[in-house]
Amino acid sequence: MTQPATPSRPAGRRKFELDPRFESYKGVWVFLEHNEGVVHPVSFELLGEGRKLADQLGVELAGVVLAGDGTAARAFADEAFFHGADLCFTAIHPVLAHYRNQPHARTLTALVNAHQPEILLLGATTMGRDLAGSVATTLQTGLTADCTGLAIDPENRSLAATRPTFGGSLLCTIVTLNYRPQMATVRPRVLSLPTRDTSRRGRVVAVEPDLAEDEIVTKLLEFIPDARRDEASLAFADIIVAGGRGLKRADNFRLLWDLADALGAEVGATRPVVQAGWVTADRQIGQSGKTVRPKLYIAAGISGAVQHRVGMEGADVIIAINPDPDAPIFDFATYGIVANAMQILPAMTAAIHQHMAALKKAV
């Protein structure tokens, strides 16, 4: 395994010309994460963004699939093409059937060294973060975690990765100037999903991973699927009704659930409410919870603290209900109702029921 040596860089000075040994590094790669036979949507979101970066650079976009069997890998590669990839590297080996750090990191590192991409993107999931941290360390390159925006710096063709810092109070743009590949992770639902075009085709580049099960120290004993699939449904819900401390008491959350039933929505919450035990932790939205991108987000009794905002400001339409006209949530909501949520929520539930009944009659 060839490891790029560390080029010297004077402290604090930014050197723009790329070390000649990295000039052969070309192309944008997206690691395709899959669990239980399904590609994680974050991989498609990354392909959508990767397509734009690749076009800007005038290079190819590649998917990377590590899988336990060829049929699954082929299907995943097709999905990569449908979502914008020009080619897809596939590494197939029984050892790769389930995610484990050692074989996955080894295979991905070898692929990078052999085929030399300039950018490598992964989802900021438990898998992507685990894998990216190891691979970047072995490759001795820069990794920017949990990015909210990716762009190409026209001046030097480098990846400008923007991420929140200090809990979202500030944003910073980070570049990896003189190391390749430039690595970044992005949380699910931060980027929008590209349209799936089943007429798109691409090339499969199959590589033989150098693996043997008896060399792998960590063994998977079992996989225990979550009983409830709320996690997935919250992140991908079209409508979310979320409550904060302004709802005052746990039983007032019933008003939210009623509205959620009327709309077919999921229920989300702020951190204090989760900490108070009013709802389960998997419903927390924000910096230390989930990022969501619904079509409609109804925030009741939520002040709009930056740590909450970073998780939900990607919503198309935001309705805020809060009696405090100066609450920060009104700075970025689409519509605001300056009133007591305990009165507005039931009225809204009733109005939606009426609206649906009227629609039914009209049909």
Partner 1 sequence: MHILVCIKQVPDSAQIRVHPVTNTIMRQGVPAIVNPYDLVALEEALRLKDQYGARVTVLTMGPPQAEAALRKALSFGADEAILLTDRAFAGADTLATSYALASAIRKIQEDMPIDLVFAGKQTIDGDTAQVGPGLATRLEMQLLTYVSRIDGVDPDTNEITVQRRAEGGVQRLRTRLPAVLTVLEGINDMRFATMADMFRAARYPLVVWDREAAGIDDVGKIGLKGSPTVVSRVFAPTARAQKAEIITTQSEQPDDIVATLLAKMFTKHPQLRAAIRPRLA
Ligand X SMILES: Cc1cc2nc3c(=O)[nH]c(=O)nc-3n(C[C@H](O)[C@H](O)[C@H](O)COP(=O)(O)OP(=O)(O)OC[C@H]3O[C@@H](n4cnc5c(N)ncnc54)[C@H](O)[C@@H]3O)c2cc1C
Residues 162-201 that bind ligand X (CB under 6 A): 167
Measured between alpha carbons, how far is 129 from 66 in angstroms, rounded to an integer? 16
- Give me the amino acid identity at 131: L
Binding to ligand X, residues 216-245 (CB under 6 A): 244-245
**Is residue 318 involved in binding ligand X (CB under 6 A)?**
no
Which of partner 1, ligand X, none sits in contact with 244, Cβ below 5 to 8 A by type? ligand X
Residues 6+ positions from 118 with CB-CB distance below 8 Å:
22, 25, 26, 27, 28, 57, 59, 159, 180, 181, 182
Token pair for residue 254? 């019933």
Dihedrals phi, psi of 239, to nearest 5 degrees? -130, 135
- Give me the amino acid identity at 45: E
Measured between alpha carbons, how far is 311 from 329 in angstroms, rounded to an integer? 13
**Is residue 333 involved in binding ligand X (CB under 6 A)?**
no
**Is residue 349 involved in binding ligand X (CB under 6 A)?**
no
Q: What is the nearest approach in angstroms of partner 1 to the Cβ of residue 313?
A: 8
Specify whether the CB–CB gap between 145 and 185 falls below 8 A.
Answer: yes
Q: Which of 271, 282, 313, 337: binder of ligand X (CB under 6 A)?
A: 271
Q: Which of 57, 151, 174, 206: binder of partner 1 (CB under 8 A)?
A: 174
CA separation, residue 205 to residues 87, 91, 149, 259 (Å): 7, 9, 29, 50
**Is residue 2 involved in binding partner 1 (CB under 8 A)?**
no
Q: Which of 117, 123, 286, 294: binder of ligand X (CB under 6 A)?
A: 286
Q: Which of 30, 39, 124, 321: binder of ligand X (CB under 6 A)?
A: 321
**Is residue 288 involved in binding ligand X (CB under 6 A)?**
yes
Rounded to 10 degrees, the C-alpha dihedral 283/289/295/300 comes to: 60
Angle at the Cα of 102 from the Cα atoms of 97 and 107, rounded to 5 degrees: 70
Please compute Rg for the chain using Cα positions: 23
Q: What is the nearest approach in angstroms of partner 1 to the Cβ of residue 246?
A: 16
Specify whether the CB–CB gap between 139 and 117 falls below 8 A.
Answer: no
Measured between alpha carbons, how far is 304 from 314 in angstroms, rounded to an integer? 14
Q: What is the nearest approach in angstroms of ligand X to the Cβ of residue 263?
A: 18
Which of partner 1, ligand X, none sits in contact with 301, Cβ below 5 to 8 A by type? ligand X
**Is residue 302 involved in binding ligand X (CB under 6 A)?**
yes
**Is residue 105 involved in binding partner 1 (CB under 8 A)?**
yes
Specify whether the CB–CB gap between 274 and 287 falls below 8 A.
Answer: no
Measured between alpha carbons, how far is 334 from 5 in angstroms, rounded to an integer? 51
Instruction: Kindly tell me which of 57 and 330 has the beta carbon lying closer to partner 1.
Output: 330
**Is residue 40 involved in binding partner 1 (CB under 8 A)?**
yes
String of contacts with ligand X for each residue 24-63, x by CB under 6 A: ----------------------------------------
Binding to partner 1, residues 210-269 (CB under 8 A): 217-226, 229, 231-232, 238-239, 260-264
Q: How many residues bind ligand X (CB under 6 A)?
A: 30
Which of ligand X, partner 1, none sits in contact with 192, Cβ below 5 to 8 A by type? none
**Is residue 44 involved in binding partner 1 (CB under 8 A)?**
no
Which residues are near ligand X by CB under 6 A?
Answer: 167, 244-246, 270-273, 284-289, 300-303, 305, 307-308, 311, 321-324, 327, 340-342
